């Protein structure tokens, strides 16, 4: 692998993504996450399909991933077409020592949670900047538009700050692939990720927040590092 023109962070992302592609074997159904690190995995997966005749199919978690897979020629199926997903490969914004995650800065965490839940194994690919001692936020939260003022009030009652995510290179709010609004909530602290996840997800109008605590027992984290990928978990 040539590292020409890649920043150290992008080199780390590529190390992690390429390593994740090694876990995929012939006949698997793969959950395809969203984000720049997963994009490297998909590039390597396409190379393996070409070089080895690997026969797989992917279930995408976003329109962006669907478009990238189609451009690479990776076969896709819908979630309704499969009985199970063997492995989901996805990124994360933060990973703590117990493999609890914050996801959703790409506004795809609702579909990513569904795919993770449907998968027998979850592989998280990350660069070292995503590893932390304690989850800190901001926590992305997808909400139905009608509920926005109510959810913001409820979150404000918990303490911390809430902002409505604004689009980049567009006016107005970010709209998810599901047609919903994204809030970014920064609590004072997150000493109990499981408790905060439950509290947020119980607010009427919340579709799902970006704290993922329920998949730790089936999670492997691959961290791209200078001397090669480091693997935590299964």
Kindly report, residue by residue over 152-196, the tens digit of the pLDDT: 999 999 999 999 999 887 789 999 999 999 999 999 999 999 999
Per-residue pLDDT, 226: 85
Q: Which of 112, 120, 166, 194 is catalytic?
A: 112
Q: What is the CATH number of domain 139-210?
A: 3.30.70.260
Those residues with Cβ within 8 angstroms of residue 220's Cβ, 6 or more apart along the chain or in another chain: 23, 121, 122, 123, 124, 231, 232, 233, 234
Per-residue pLDDT, 4: 62
Q: Where would I find the beta strands (DSSP E) of the chain?
A: 29-32, 57-60, 85-90, 94-95, 101-102, 119-126, 139-143, 161-164, 181-186, 206-209, 211-212, 219-223, 230-233
Question: Which of 114, 54, 57 lies closest to 90, judged by CA?
Answer: 114
Q: What is the CATH number of domain 8-131+214-233?
A: 3.40.50.1360
- Please name the residue that has the structure tokens 């920064």: 186
CATH 3.30.70.260, the chain: domain bounds: 139-210
Asked if residue 78 has pLDDT above 80, the reply is: yes
Mean pLDDT of 105-111: 96
Percent of the chain at pLDDT above 90? 93
Per-residue pLDDT, 3: 52
Enter the DSSP assignment of 189.
-
Separation between Cα atoms, residue 69 and residue 61, nearest integer Å: 11
Separation between Cα atoms, residue 73 and residue 42, nearest integer Å: 10
Separation between Cα atoms, residue 148 and residue 159, nearest integer Å: 17
CATH 3.40.50.1360, the chain: domain bounds: 8-131+214-233
120 is catalytic: no
Question: Which of 215, 222, 216, 211 lies closest to 125, judged by CA?
Answer: 222
Separation between Cα atoms, residue 11 and residue 28, nearest integer Å: 27
Separation between Cα atoms, residue 75 and residue 56, nearest integer Å: 7
Per-residue pLDDT, 6: 87
Those residues with Cβ within 8 angstroms of residue 206's Cβ, 6 or more apart along the chain or in another chain: 141, 142, 143, 147, 151, 200
């Amino acid at each position: 692998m040539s590292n020409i023109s890649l920043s150290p962070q992008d080199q780390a992302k590529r190390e992690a993504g390429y390593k994740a592609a090694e876990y995929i074997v012939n006949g698997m159904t793969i959950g395809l996450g969203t984000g720049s690190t997963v994009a490297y995995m998909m590039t390597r997966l396409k190379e393996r399909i070409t070089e080895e005749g690997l026969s797989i199919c992917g279930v995408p978690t976003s329109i962006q991933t669907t478009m990238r897979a189609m451009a690479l020629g990776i076969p896709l199926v819908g979630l309704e077409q499969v009985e199970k997903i063997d492995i989901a490969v996805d990124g994360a914004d933060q990973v703590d020592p117990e493999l609890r995650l914050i996801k959703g800065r790409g506004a795809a965490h609702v579909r990513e949670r569904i795919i993770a839940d449907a998968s027998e194994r979850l592989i998280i690919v990350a660069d070292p900047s995503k590893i932390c001692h304690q989850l800190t936020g901001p926590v992305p939260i997808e909400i139905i538009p009608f509920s926005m003022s109510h959810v913001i009030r409820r979150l404000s009652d918990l303490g911390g700050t809430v902002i409505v995510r604004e689009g980049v290179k567009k006016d107005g709010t970010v709209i998810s692939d599901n047609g919903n609004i994204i809030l970014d909530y920064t609590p004072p602290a997150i000493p109990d990720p499981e408790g905060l996840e439950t509290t947020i997800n119980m607010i009427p109008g919340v579709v799902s927040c970006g704290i993922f605590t329920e998949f730790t027992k089936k999670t492997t984290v691959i961290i791209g590092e200078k001397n090669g990928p480091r693997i935590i978990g299964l």
